[in-house]
Amino acid sequence: MVEKRVSEAVLLKAMSTGADYAELYVEDMTSDNVSMIADCVDSANTSRDMGAGVRIFCGTNSVYAFGNGTDEKSLMELAAKVAAAAGTASSAGIDIVLNEVKFDPVCRAEIPALSVDKKIRTDALKQAYFAAKEYSPEIVQVSGVLASSCKRIYVANSDGVIGTDERPYIRLAVSAVASDGNENQSGFTGPGNSAGFEFIQSLDLKAHGREAARIATTMLHAGKCPAGKMPVVMDNAFGGVVFHEACGHALEATSVGLGNSVFCGKLGQKIANEKVSAVDDATMISEWGSRAMSDEGEKTERIQLIKDGILTGYMIDKLGSRRMNMRSTGSGRRQNYAFAPTSRMSNTFICPGSDTRDQIISSTENGLYAAKMGGGSVNPLTGEFNFAVMEGYMIRGGKICEPVRGATLIGKGYEVLLNIDMVSDDLVLGQGMCGSISGSIQTNVGQPMIRISEITVGGEIE
Amino acid sequence: MSKINEFCEKILSYAKAHCDGEFEVYASSGESFRVGILEGQIKDYSVNDYSGISFRIKKNGKMGYASTTSCDEDGIPALVENACRNAALIEKPDEQFIFSGSASYPSPKVYGEELDGITAEEKIAFAKLMEQKAKEADPRIIKVETSLVTSGKSTVVIKNSNGMDLCEDSNFIAGYVIPIAADGEKMNDGFGFCGGFDRACLDVDKAVKKGVLEAIDFLDAKPVKSASMRVIFRNSAFCDLIETFSGIFSSENAQRGLSMLAGKEGEKIAADCVTLTDDSTLDFGFGSRAFDAEGVAGRRTVVVENGVLKTLLYNLETAYKAGVESTGNASKGGYTSPIGISVSNFTLTPGEKTLEELAAKMGDGLIITEVSGLHAGANAVTGDFSLMSKGYLVEGGKTGRAVTGVTVSGNFYELLKNIEEPGCDTYHNMFGAAVSSPSVLIGVPMSIAGE
């Protein structure tokens, strides 16, 4: 995307005032979305987003500049901006020799989505849409989006690396609203992959539409969730958002590297129940959070975060690596050129355990079964997290009973990890968008069914 | 003429020569600056410029969109063709509009000339000072996670085939600080900020005071026992709730069955003490603008008056459908987004009592100072919320110990009806939507889940 000669000149210019590292990032992304509401195609939008960013380090301090121009003149201007901000010292004798590094592709689009006729893509969306709409007369509104995009990135840095990566993304999202005239309830499904249109072809589109509608109608007839501390059984797939919020963010160098995480200095120590092992793996083929190359031009990897309850690793980017004096794990990510990269999760999940679903439910006398989770957030410093239960049921006498709504789970990450006392064997991943200081990015959460022996459930006081 | 203006003209000329129908260019461009300080040194520094151009065309009554960040002329044919192709996919039967312009436009002040004179060095010095003052404010402050100054200016341009040619510049500056307090093993952070449109609004003491107080006060905070309790939402927490649920006042949501306020115009939907106005014409409001995303003139709209829903918020399409005028609330989430609806400066009219007086009136209960996880724990379609909260216990009318690790649950539609009294301490939200609200006392007990 950029001539080698230009990249070398940009990096030299960027380092001309004393920086000890420089990086050029160029991106070209095309997205194409079709959305439906009120039973018809409501909007269609195609966008092309191009831009570049230049970053330098002076020790553990960083300077970043971005712009939309990707021609030589614009890139040199970015380099001049960061150099000016770094100081006035002149660096003599810097030599940069760039070599192209090949990364084996991790995400492949067999059928590039953007090359598929829009009518065909729209028809796929309609199948899911109308399956949701026709599920029940209580479904009063459905909205759906089929989002396709392809991002090409180019990184050149003063370590001598030139790397490129191509990232296809495709996601179907369906939201359904059920109403009885007095109250509304909603349900959502959103399967996605870093792949092409073949992913959509592999889905049972109608089943995904019906699932969103089923959740909405179930919740319409649900009573309010009782409040208080209780055992919670959390199902697989998007249930993994608990680990993502409660633990994952606090294992990113973004917080660990600055001493702002409850898990600082805890490597080798027990931080979770021995039944818990967890991994962040960007190398899974075509998964939503996968990529071959980090946004800093490094090879991605599978990181064992927790093994049998013992903390074994952090997710580390280049700047974090400097701050922590540890090797980078290729975890540098960003939404796009408008953000400097930082350490982020990719596909992060609790590994399968040895309990079964039946054992977990039947051994829980009373509690909450969180079948589907909504989103959540966390303060990595204090470990305090919260997340919403989209579809919940009471458990009584070891059996799943009536549905309940309006439940929120709150707690502290380091406490909840120790309280995971059962882990089933049925790992499934779930797709989400994760927001942090380097923007909103695709991440998979995941887990098998787990039980938390006790957690605060926000709901209604009886 | 600026580069972006020129490029917009080129797109229009190309479209005129090659397409039938009405069309429009919406462009947003600008500059941003950010400096973060850690231990007296520049931790991160960023200086940027950006532009984004959206083109839309109405063909056979249907609107198609395409956008780009590149001001490269070679990209114009693809931009226009993509929009035409997208228009052909649309099935929506509703009448679409490319506006020719309002008769006159307000000119709210949205650009602080003084900000142009503040140099990068001054901003760095301010961020350093903020960090230093936060550290010196209390021995329990062990460090400052972030001390940051951010500033920016942006230009919005709308030009179309019906002769509209609008342009508006705006800018801002803000500083924020996150001090970390520790007491033994316990750590807690706070968030303080300041900002606006002139030098005076960079108030270091105000930002530091708020951030340090939050960090220290909640070091020893504990949950309360789960109970049904009286509640005051402090001003900033109630701003967050109003912002999260502001979509219920959108006519688009109402027409789609996504707001329970559909068809309730003229009806009582809130307590007598509730008056909500939307006003994009305020000088130096964070949501002020001369025109909305369709080029309709900004204005003041009383949305709820003494508890009665006077009107929803409209853009051209929803207004036409409802047989009313646009309230000038068309918005775009970003330059690529299609036209939607959002509030501008949305304000809950204050009452007379201070927060202390409201607490005295409440007697026993909880002042909620912060709600978090709004993107997950609040459902804008149902009105239900269940949110992690922080605050202070109130006993016998006196504010006591800090509380954390609890949730407050309820329903926003019900909450509007149950507001007993708004206070006089209006707070202007600076991050996210420009919502202003005083603290409010809720008239019925709410569900607080804790220990």
Contact A202, A286 (CB under 8 A): no
Sequence letter at residue B371: V
A439-447 sheet: strands from edge to edge: A310-311, A302-307, A278-281, A347-350, A439-447, A428-436
Backbone angles phi, psi at A87, to 5 degrees: 145, -160
A74 touches chain B (CB under 8 A): no
Tell me the HSE value of A332 on the side-chain side, using a 13 A CA sphere: 23
Q: Which residues pair with B386 in a beta bridge?
A: B409
A174 touches chain B (CB under 8 A): no
Cβ of B69 and A259 within 8 Å? no
Q: Which residues contact B168 (CB under 8 A, 6 or more apart)?
A: B110, B155, B156, B289, B290, B291
Q: Where are the beta strands (DSSP E) in B263-418?
A: 276-279, 300-305, 308-309, 330-331, 340-341, 345-348, 365-372, 384-395, 398-411
Q: Determine the residue of chain B that is closest to A323 in CA distance.
A: B43
pLDDT over 60 at B326, yes or no: yes
Task: Assign A147 a pLDDT band (cuts: 50, 70, 90).
Answer: very high
Q: Which residues contact B123 (CB under 8 A, 6 or more apart)?
A: B33, B35, B149, B151, B173
Q: Where are the beta strands (DSSP E) in A40-199?
A: 40-58, 61-67, 99-100, 139-157, 161-179, 184-189, 192-193
pTM recorded for the entire structure: 0.92
The predicted model gives B134-156 an average pLDDT of 96
Computed over every residue of chain B, the mean pLDDT equals 95
Sequence letter at residue B40: G
Give the separation between CA B153 and CA B294, rounded to whole angstroms.
21
Tens digits of residue pLDDT in A91-104: 667 888 999 999 99
Tens digits of residue pLDDT in A158-187: 999 999 999 999 999 999 999 998 888 899
Between positions 27 and 46 of B, the ones with CB within 8 A of A are 38, 41-46
Task: Assign B359 a pLDDT band (cuts: 50, 70, 90).
Answer: very high
Q: Which of B120, B387, B449 sits opposite A457 (nearest CB)?
A: B449
Residue B72 tokens read as: 């490269």
Give the separation between CA A404 and CA A222, rounded to whole angstroms.
5
Write down the ipTM of this complex: 0.89
Using alpha carbons, select from A45, A268, A57 the residue that is nearest to residue A157. A57
Q: Determine the residue of chain A that is closest to B226 in CA distance.
A: A228
Q: Which residues contact B6 (CB under 8 A, 6 or more apart)?
A: none
Give the separation between CA A152 and CA A168, rounded to whole angstroms.
9
Cβ of A50 and B70 within 8 Å? yes
A228 touches chain B (CB under 8 A): yes
Cβ of B68 and A48 within 8 Å? yes
Residue B260 tokens read as: 């329970």
More confident residue, B375 or B175: B175
Tens digits of residue pLDDT in A30-63: 999 999 999 999 999 999 999 999 999 999 999 9
What angle (nearest 5°) sits at the alpha carbon of residue B157, between those of residues B151 and B158? Answer: 145
**DSSP symbol at B104:** -
Cβ of B386 and A179 within 8 Å? no
Cβ of B407 and A141 within 8 Å? no
Which residues on B lie below 8 Å from A68 (Cβ)?
Answer: 49-51, 69-71
Domains of chain A: 4-220 (3.30.2290.10), 223-458 (no CATH)
Best-predicted range by mean pLDDT (A401-410, A431-440, B43-52, B102-111): B102-111
Q: A460 to each of A101, A393, A395, B228, B446, how far by Cα in Å?
A: 57, 14, 17, 8, 8
- Quote the pLDDT of residue A145: 97
- Quote the pLDDT of residue A98: 95
Give residue for tokens 């970003």. B334
pLDDT over 90 at B242, yes or no: yes
Which residues on B lie below 8 Å from A460 (Cβ)?
Answer: 409, 447
Q: Nearest-CA distance from A32 to chain B in Å?
A: 9
Q: Determine the residue of chain A that is closest to B87 in CA distance.
A: A44
- Quote the pLDDT of residue A380: 76
Q: Nearest-CA distance from B45 to chain A in Å?
A: 4
% helix / strand / coil in chain A, to the nearest 5? 25, 45, 35
Give the separation between CA B426 and CA B234, rounded to whole angstroms.
10
First-to-last alpha carbon distance for chain A, in angstroms, is: 62
Which residues on B lie below 8 Å from A64 (Cβ)?
Answer: 44-46, 48
Number of residues in chain B: 451
* R_g (Cα) of chain B, nearest Å: 24
- Quote the pLDDT of residue A245: 86
Out of A342-351, B72-81, B429-438, least confident range: B429-438
More confident residue, A91 or B235: B235
Q: At what angle do helices A72-86 and A4-14 cross, to 10 degrees?
A: 20
Give the separation between CA A243 and CA B208, rounded to whole angstroms.
33
What three-state secondary structure class fits B306? coil
Q: Which of A50, A118, A459 sits opposite B449 (nearest CB)?
A: A459
Using alpha carbons, select from B137, B180, B185, B187 the residue that is nearest to residue B404. B187
A38 touches chain B (CB under 8 A): yes
Q: A169 to each of A32, A111, A297, A365, B151, how far by Cα in Å?
A: 11, 12, 20, 43, 33
Residue B135 tokens read as: 């550290």
- Residue B115: count of CB within 10 angstroms of its CB: 19
Q: B205 to each of B144, B172, B238, B431, how far by Cα in Å?
A: 15, 19, 24, 19
Using alpha carbons, select from A121, A270, A257, A457 the residue that is nearest to residue B377. A457
Which of A27, A43, A221 to mutate: most B Cβ within 10 Å? Answer: A43
pLDDT over 70 at A68, yes or no: yes
Cβ of B50 and A227 within 8 Å? no
Give the separation between CA B414 and CA B386, rounded to whole angstroms.
14
Give residue for tokens 């539409």. A209
Tell me the HSE value of B60 on the side-chain side, using a 13 A CA sphere: 10
Bin A439: left if φ > 0, else alpha if -120 < ψ < 50, else beta. Answer: left
Sequence letter at residue B136: E
Give the separation between CA B447 and CA B355, rounded to whole angstroms.
21
Sequence letter at residue A296: E
A398 touches chain B (CB under 8 A): no
Query: Which residues in chain B are classed under CATH 3.30.2290.10?
Result: 3-217
Q: Which residues contact B446 (CB under 8 A, 6 or more apart)?
A: B228, B229, B230, B231, B408, B409, B410
Burial class (CB in 10 A: 0-12, 13-18, 19+), A135: buried
- Quote the pLDDT of residue B186: 87
Cβ of B375 and A377 within 8 Å? yes
- Residue B114: count of CB within 10 angstroms of its CB: 14
Give the separation between CA B345 and CA B435, rounded to whole angstroms.
6
- Quote the pLDDT of residue B1: 54
Sequence letter at residue B103: A
% helix / strand / coil in chain B, to the nearest 5? 25, 40, 35
B92 touches chain A (CB under 8 A): yes
A258 touches chain B (CB under 8 A): yes
Tens digits of residue pLDDT in A110-145: 999 999 999 999 999 999 999 999 999 999 999 999
B117 touches chain A (CB under 8 A): no
**DSSP symbol at B315:** -
- Quote the pLDDT of residue A378: 82
The predicted model gives A305-315 an average pLDDT of 98
Instruction: Report the Cα B123 to chain-centroid distance in Å.
Output: 24
**DSSP symbol at A245:** I
Which of B45, B121, B178 to mutate: most A Cβ within 10 Å? Answer: B45
**DSSP symbol at A222:** -
Computed over every residue of chain A, the mean pLDDT equals 94
Which residues on B lie below 8 Å from A445 (Cβ)?
Answer: none
Q: Where are the beta strands (DSSP E) in B113-164?
A: 141-160
Q: Which residues pair with A224 in a beta bridge?
A: A405
Number of residues in chain A: 462
Give residue for tokens 């049925």. A426
Cβ of A382 and B188 within 8 Å? yes
- CB burial of B236-246 (b: ≥16 within 10 Å; e: otherwise) equals bbbbbbbbbbb
**DSSP symbol at B226:** S
Residue A245 tokens read as: 């919020």
- Residue A410: count of CB within 10 angstroms of its CB: 28
A119 touches chain B (CB under 8 A): yes
Backbone angles phi, psi at B273, to 5 degrees: -80, 5
Give me the architecture of the B3-217 domain, per CATH.
2-Layer Sandwich (3.30)
Q: Chain A to chain B, count of Cβ pairs less than 8 Å apart?
A: 236
Using alpha carbons, select from A333, A324, A268 the residue that is nearest to residue A300. A333
